[in-house]
Amino acid sequence: YTMAEAYVTLATNDGYAIGALVLGHSLRCNHTTKDLCIMITPAVSMAVRSLLDSVYNKVVVVDVLDSGDSAHLALMKRPELGVTFTKLHCWTLTDYSKCVFLDADILCVQNPDDLFTHPELTAVCDVGWPDCFNSGVFVFVPSQDTYGRLLSMAETTGSFDGGDQGLLNSAFPNWHRVSFVYNMVASATYTYLPAYKQYGANAKLIHFLGAMKPWQHRYDVGSGSVSTAPGYTHLAPYLNSWWAIYQRLVQPGVP
C-alpha cells in the first residue's frame, strides 16, 4: 500500500468554490492520475459543497478559530493572518504522501502531474519579485511537524506581506524553481509578448492572479464569450476557456 498524492486547493466562500469547481474539472479533463482535495470553511453553502463532492475526492471542512490550540494562540496575536492560516492547514493532510497546492483561481490546460516528481518546496518565481516564489502553486509534503513550525513562525516573525506568500518564502528560503508554465500568470504574459509567443503554448496551469477573478467577469450566453472588463481584453482567450468549462460542467449543476 502506498499513500496517495493529491492536488489541494482552498475556498472560504462560494465565489472561490466556483473557481475550485472549474479547476477540479480542468484537472480531470487533462486526465490527472492524482486525487483532488479541497479545504473549505463553513461559509461555503451546502449546494456548492455537493457540487464539490462530485469532482473532489475529499472535501475537508476547516475552521480557522477551531483549528487547534497553537493555531488559535497564534491567531489571537495576529488576527490579520486569518486566510493565511487556513491555507497552512494543507500541511495537516497527512493521509497524503505528497501534494501540490493550487489556488482556486487557476485553470489547468495541460496535465501538470510531473510536478509530483519534485521535492518540497518546489514552486515558480513570482512575477513581482522573482527571487520569491508565487504561493499559488507549490509542491509540499504534509507533516504535523512542518505545520507546527509554520505556525510558530507566523506567531513570532509573522509574514512580511501579511499573507501566506511572505510567510512561506521566509519558511522555505531554499525552494526549488520550476518553469513558469506551471504557474503562468495570465496578466503578466503581455509584459514580454515575444516570450509568450515562443513558449505560451507550453502552459500547463494558468493563474488568474489579481483583483478580478474569472467568475467576476460577465459571460454572454448568446455569443458564447466573455465580455471582459476594461483592461482585461488581452485575457479573453483564457477567460473564455475558463467559462467554457464552467458552462459545460459546472453551471448545469448549480441550483
Binding partner of residue 236 among ligand UDP, Mn ion, none, CB cut-off 5 to 8 Å per kind = none
Minimum Å gap between C-beta 64 and ligand UDP is: 11
Cβ at position 170, least distance to ligand UDP in Å: 17
Per-residue contact string for residues 191-230; x = within reach of Mn ion by CB under 5 A: ------------------x---------------------
Helix (H) or strand (E) holding 148: helix 144-156
Minimum distance from CB of 232 to ligand UDP (Å)? 14
Give the CB-nearest residue to ligand UDP: 103
134 contacts 125 by C-beta, under 8 angstroms: yes
Which residues have CB under 8 Å from 203's CB, separation 6+? Answer: 109, 110, 181, 184
Is the distance from CB of 90 to CB of 6 less than 8 angstroms? Answer: no
Is residue 59 classed as helix, strand or coil in its secondary structure?
Answer: strand
Q: What single string gives the DSSP state of each residue in 168-231? A: HHHH-TTPEE--GGGSEEGGGGGGSHHHHHHHGGG--EEE--SSS-GGGSEEETTTTEEEPPTT
**Contact present, 222 and 120 (Cβ < 8 Å):** no
In the block, residue with C-alpha cell 492536488: 7
Provide, rounded to whole angstroms, the least separation between the CB of residue 224 and ligand UDP.
Answer: 26
11 binds, among Mn ion, ligand UDP, none (CB under 5 to 8 A by kind): ligand UDP
The b-or-e profile of 131-169 (16+ CB within 10 A means b, else e) is ebbbbbbbbbebeeebbeebbebbbeebbebeebbbbbb
Q: Which residue has the cell 460577465?
A: 218
Are 33 and 100 spatial neighbours (Cβ–Cβ below 8 Å)? no
Binding Mn ion by CB under 5 A: which of 34, 85, 91, 105? Answer: 105
103 binds Mn ion (CB under 5 A): yes
Of 16 and 147, the one with the shorter C-beta distance to ligand UDP is: 16
User: Could you tell which of Mn ion, ligand UDP, none binds residue 210, using a CB distance below 5 to 8 A set by kind?
Assistant: ligand UDP
Site stretch for Mn ion (CB under 5 A), options 21-29, 79-87, 119-127, 133-141: 133-141
C-beta of 2 vs 183, nearer to ligand UDP: 183
Cβ-based nearer residue to ligand UDP, 83 or 236: 83
Interface pick for Mn ion out of 136, 142, 166, 214 (rule CB under 5 A):
136
List interacting residues with ligand UDP (CB under 6 A).
9-13, 16, 83, 87, 103-105, 136, 209-210
CB of 24 to ligand UDP, least distance (A): 12
Binding site for Mn ion (CB under 5 A): 103, 105, 136, 209
